[in-house]
Amino acid sequence: MALKKYHKKITTNTLNEMKSIGEKITMLTAYDFTLATIIDKAGVEVILVGDSASNVMAGHETTLPITLNEMIYHASSVVRATNRALVVVDLPFGTYQGNSKEALTSAIRIMKESGAHSVKIEGGEEIKESIDRILSAGIPVMGHLGLTPQSIYKFGTYNVRAKEEKEAKKLIKDAILLEKSGCFALVLEKVPADLAKKVAESISIPVIGIGAGNNVDGQVLVLHDMIGMTNEFNPRFLRRYLNLFDDITKAVGHYITDVKSKNFPNKNEQY
């Protein structure tokens, strides 16, 4: 299948079309204006303002502490930078599980206050009511199954999910339920590649994988991992395209040396 170039703004319909012609979807995270500007210009179709901002930006151990206000702050910075990509924002832990009314209020705040195009929420059947209510307000919803980091204390580890038949069966059932509910796409995190393939073949909405193999409709990575700004997170699924941790460390080292040796600033760098 020839690569089709999408010059216009990406919508949920574009992603559906891409799945139907077999063109892979690219998605990366961003939490700030500067990096979002770069990845939007570089051409990713989807920018995810992930609650991984809790780890990457704020240094928390899990995604649980990040608040709705903090997500809105990150999302509005990303939206200001974005001309083409579809911006998806994670509903943070505790803002949609309680009841569907609260879920809708949280989703509306994200859409109104950040200008984002859609929200993502973790889970299947357990949160169906919340999904239905958000969708009924005309807000596009992306699902997230497999390893759902907001449930880390239930899982106990970040290991691969759904290796056992019972969990795999529930995952397929949940994926079909999310499609039937009207979700426009689904993130599948850290599950066996064969299961991910089966899910992508079982539903017509795009399945975007992270640690879910190549037989899905697109891929997502955390940008800071993919460009090597972080260096302690090394799962098998991660491909690093840069090593910015080392490059920045070297650059800062040179700067320190230059300042201390009175080499910076020189005559051309002063007024």
Query: Does 212 interact with ligand KIV (rule: CB under 6 A)?
Result: no
Query: Does 223 interact with ligand KIV (rule: CB under 6 A)?
Result: no
- The DSSP symbol for 11 reads -
Task: Specify the residue, 239 or 260, whose C-beta has the smaller distance to ligand KIV.
Answer: 239
Query: Does 210 interact with ligand KIV (rule: CB under 6 A)?
Result: yes
- The DSSP symbol for 127 reads G
Give one DSSP letter per residue of 189-226, joined into a string.
ES--HHHHHHHHHH-SS-EEEESS-SSSSEEEE-HHHH
Choices 5-13, 17-25, 49-57, 224-232 (CB under 6 A): range interacting with ligand KIV = 49-57
Q: Dihedral (C-alpha) 213, 205, 3, 8: value to the nearest 10 degrees?
A: -130
Could you tell me whether strands 218-221 and 25-29 are parallel, antiparallel, or unpaired per DSSP bridges?
Answer: parallel
Name the residue among 48, 116, 135, 62 with its Cα closest to residue 94: 62
Query: Does 225 interact with ligand KIV (rule: CB under 6 A)?
Result: no
Task: Specify the residue, 103 or 146, whose C-beta has the smaller distance to ligand KIV.
Answer: 146
Task: Specify the residue, 130 or 268, whose C-beta has the smaller distance to ligand KIV.
Answer: 130
Q: Which residues contact 220 (CB under 8 A, 6 or more apart)?
A: 27, 28, 29, 46, 48, 187, 208, 209, 210
According to DSSP, the residues that pair with 102 across neighbouring strands are none
Taking residues 161 to 200 in sequence order and writing x for each that binds ligand KIV by CB under 6 A, - otherwise, the string is --------------------------x-x-----------
Query: Does 50 interact with ligand KIV (rule: CB under 6 A)?
Result: yes
Distance of CA 162 to the CA centre of its chain: 20
Q: How far is the CB of 29 from ligand KIV (least distance, A)?
A: 5
Query: Does 206 interact with ligand KIV (rule: CB under 6 A)?
Result: no
Catalytic site includes residue 269: no
Q: Which residue is nearest to ligand KIV (CB)?
A: 50
Which burial class, exposed, middle or buried, applies to 127 when counting CB atoms under 10 A from its CB (0-12, 13-18, 19+)? buried
Query: Does 220 interact with ligand KIV (rule: CB under 6 A)?
Result: yes
Task: Specify the residue, 6 or 158, whose C-beta has the smaller distance to ligand KIV.
Answer: 158
Task: Specify the residue, 65 or 136, whose C-beta has the smaller distance to ligand KIV.
Answer: 65
What residues between 2 and 41 interact with ligand KIV by CB under 6 A?
A: 29
> Which of the residues 61, 102, 189, 201 is marked catalytic?
189
Q: Which residues contact 158 (CB under 8 A, 6 or more apart)?
A: 147, 149, 152, 190, 235
The residues that are catalytic are: 189
